[in-house]
Structure 1
Amino acid sequence: MARHRRDPQGFLRIMMAVGAIAIAVALLAVGGYALWRAVDTAADPVSAGIAPQSSESRPASPTAVPVLAITVTGTRTRVYVAKPGDGEILVSRVMARGETFVSDERRLAVVVEDGSAVRIRVNGETRPPAEPGVRLAFTVDGDRTAAGA
């Protein structure tokens, strides 16, 4: 009678398949958690202890009044600011409460998704807030502000 011997390669294949499934499940869990944190609207970075981010564009001196300063006072809103001449985008993202964008550029195109969620100062003067949910679009041109659609 012939002796039956176990196939060592068969056991190795099963262990590799189990390992691959475990890695795939772990990656799905990490990706799902990251997605959940990214779309979680209840998360407030200020109360979570995360320092608000600011723009790299700053006034030349601490006493100078910036041309444009946008501070988010609501929960969050999308802010878009660009130079109209060359199309350089200075900011285009959702900003959270407490974040501020400051720029000294003389010509700017500005769009704010929810005008009631921000405080806007142009050349040191505060613009009146918009009604909740109203989109603001305007241009800053030199020392004056032109309203837009």
Structure 2
Amino acid sequence: MFAVLESRFDDALVVNWEPHEGTFGLPDPDDEHVVAAAVVGGADTIVTQNLRDFPADHLPDGLSVRSAAQFAADTVAVSPETAVFALRTMLSRYRNPVVAEEDALKILVSRYRVWASAPPFRAGVKAHAGGSRGRACPRPDYPVGLFG
């Protein structure tokens, strides 16, 4: 799994986070390594469903915590083109079964409760229509992060 991650994201493996572990005073000490890796890796957001164990007053300045739904909604709000590109990139990897864009949006809404994101996603998908696999959606000229 790490080999696949590293082949897609050259900074997927964070090293030397250990000295920071235990310095944040999180409610669950077993989560300290997550913040330590985020700090060393230069992340500005931790995406997790475990929001209660990452209170803002225990995080370093500039680091925030978002649920998957919040992160998706933020991505759509900031850059609908990037979100559509990311969605289509992920869908292009599905072979059996093939997942249609509208079905993927339904999954995002039902599984991750991405209600706020679904309308902008749909609008973006329609604005960049031209193929069910997103070939007509231009690749953003800036990093897509974990999506691309």
Asked if TM exceeds 0.5, the reply is no
Give the TM-score taking structure 1 as reference length: 0.22
Structure of larger gyration radius: 1
Structure 1 or 2: more strand by fraction? 1
Q: Which structure: greater helix fraction?
A: 2
What TM-score results when the alignment is normalised by the length of structure 2?
0.22
